[in-house]
Amino acid sequence: MEQSTAHVAVLGVGLMGSRMARNLLAAGFPVIAWNRDRTKAESLVAQGATVAATPAEAASRGVVIVTMLANGPVVESVLFGTEGAAEAVSPGALVIDMSSAPPELARDHARRFAARGIAYLDAPVSGGTVGAEQGNLAIMVGGDHAAFERAAPVFAPLGRATLVGPAGSGQIAKLANQAIVAVTIGAVAEALLMAAMGGADPAAVRDAIMGGFADSRVLTLHGKRMILRDFIPGGPADHQVKDCATIVATAQAAGLTLPFAETALALFRDLVAHGGGRYDHSALLLELERRNPPARLGIAPDRLPA
């Protein structure tokens, strides 16, 4: 796939998609950008993108169509609903859904595109806005090997891509990732709050733990957010609710009970119910503090989204 000729349509250029589109442009791909809020697509023009008025227009012009949308229902609406993008995709094109969506939706979309001679990959990501900015996202890919090899030049500027199985498997891997993230955020929040209320310096406790068996990127990044009380997203809590609900539903469909995931879902739902839907998911700390008055981690003021 030659960068000079492979036009990439990016449907959804919000927090994640805009950064990914910039990396594609920097790698030499011509990018056609669409976003429901057109100003977000227009912000990429200075880097060389062209703006499409509709998702169907963008899809009709792309050799590769990348979707980075809010959730499964939005993906369904943009591709196969009233937006009509799927009908505009040319046979022989490659569709890569990098949104987070239910695995069964990815499998259905793979079947529908295959019937029209269109290759499809589900390729959700992990790494947040920092990973998108730096081009080091973890990309979990479901689909066939030929499509994965074809997509490799597109994935390269975005991060590290791994083929994990047939269609839908990328979304399964993302759910596994999100289960670990959600439960670990809760564990880090509980541990740091316990340290603070037990009389230890939570920042020093975090430093002491790092490098040991309990170390993780959640402790490193979100633990720091909790200590600084910086809850500007990042990954919004309402997205974590969506992912946790999908984890629990997918597990139940497979006959599994996942008590840690179910507890994380309940906690994140309560955080959202108390106004924290647009806070970073590290703000799960606030829900724990709400349940344990007057417990509080540190004296810094909360940094919250407007």
Active site residues: 174
Q: What angle do CA 188, 211, 135 make, to 5 degrees?
A: 80
Strands annotated E in the chain: 8-11, 31-34, 50-51, 64-67, 94-97, 119-122, 125-126, 137-142, 159-165
- 16, 70, 8, 15: which is closest to 33 by C-alpha? 8
Rg (CA), the chain: 20
Task: Quote the CA–CA distance of 182 and 166 in Å, as a whole number.
Answer: 25
d(CA 152, CA 114): 20
- In the numeric block, the tokens 């890919």 are attached to 141
**Both tokens assigned to 11:** 């449907």
Q: Is the dihedral of CA 115, 119, 125, 130 positive or negative?
A: negative
Of the candidates 281, 293, 6, the residue with the CA atom closest to the CA atom of residue 152: 6
- Which of left, alpha, beta for 296 (phi over 0: left; psi -120 to 50: alpha)? beta
**Whole-number Å distance between alpha carbons of 116 and 89:** 9
Q: How far is CA 28 from CA 6, 57, 134, 151, 163, in A?
A: 9, 21, 16, 15, 24
Query: Under 8 Å CB-to-CB from 146, ≥6 apart: which residues?
Result: 119
